[in-house]
Amino acid sequence: MDFDMEVIRIGHGYDVHALRDGLPLILGGESIEHDKGFVAHSDGDVLAHALSDALLGALALGDIGSHFPDTDPQYCGADSLDLLSKVYGMIRQKGYRLANADMTILLQRPKLRPHIDRMRENIARTLWVDIDRISIKATTEERLGFTGREEGAAAHAVVLLVKG
C-alpha cells in the first residue's frame, strides 16, 4: 500500500498551572467564576496552552515556550486564544489544517460542565473549524495529587492535522 506519510500528522500537548486565591480563572477563553485562578505570565489558560503545544508538536515546530517566551514582557497577561491563533497561523502556513482535537482538563473545582460548550465555541472560532471537531472533557482526580488538593490544574490535548 502506498500512503503519503505527510498527509496526516498527530500531536500531543500537556500543560499545568498553579492555582492561587483571588486570581482570574480562564479556561478555553472562558472566564469562570471561582475563588482561585492561575498563577501565570500569560492568562494561564492551560487548555489553550496544551492545545497550542499539540498543534506545534504535530509538525515538530517546538512548543509555545520557544515561540512565546514567558520572559518576554510582550506576553505578560497575554490572551492565550491570541497565542493559539498565532500558532494555528504557523500550521496553516505549512499547509495543514485541523481535522479534530480532543482535550481533557484535570481540575478539582469548580464543575466545568456548564462552561464546556462555550469553551468549544471559543476554540472552534479561533481555529476556523466546526464545533463538532472540538472535544473538551473535564475530570477531577478524586482529590488525589496536586489537582486534587486544588494546588493547580492540568490539561491534555491530542490533535490530528490533515494536509490541504
The residues of the shown chain that bind Mg ion, judged by CB under 5 A, are 15, 49
Indicate the residue among 5 and 77 with the shorter CB distance to Mg ion: 77
- The separation between the first and the last C-alpha atoms of the chain, rounded to the nearest angstrom, is 21
For residue 21, with 0-12 CB atoms within 10 Å meaning exposed, 13-18 middle and 19 or more buried, which class applies?
exposed
Cα–Cα distances in angstroms (integers) from residue 121 to residues 51, 59, 128, 140, in the given order = 14, 24, 10, 22
With beta carbons less than 8 A apart as the criterion, state whether 138 and 110 touch. Answer: no
Q: In the complex, which residue's CB is closest to Mg ion?
A: 49
To the nearest whole angstrom, how small is the minimum distance from the Cβ of residue 151 to Mg ion?
A: 15
Nearer to Mg ion, 138 or 157 (CB): 157
Residue number with CB closer to Mg ion (68 or 96):
68
Of 58 and 153, which has the nearer Cβ to Mg ion? 153
Query: Minimum distance between the CB of residue 3 and Mg ion, rounded to whole angstroms?
Result: 35
Quote the least distance from Cβ 14 to Mg ion, whole Å. Answer: 10
133 phi, psi to nearest 5 deg:
-95, -5
**Least distance to Mg ion from the beta carbon of 156, Å?**
13
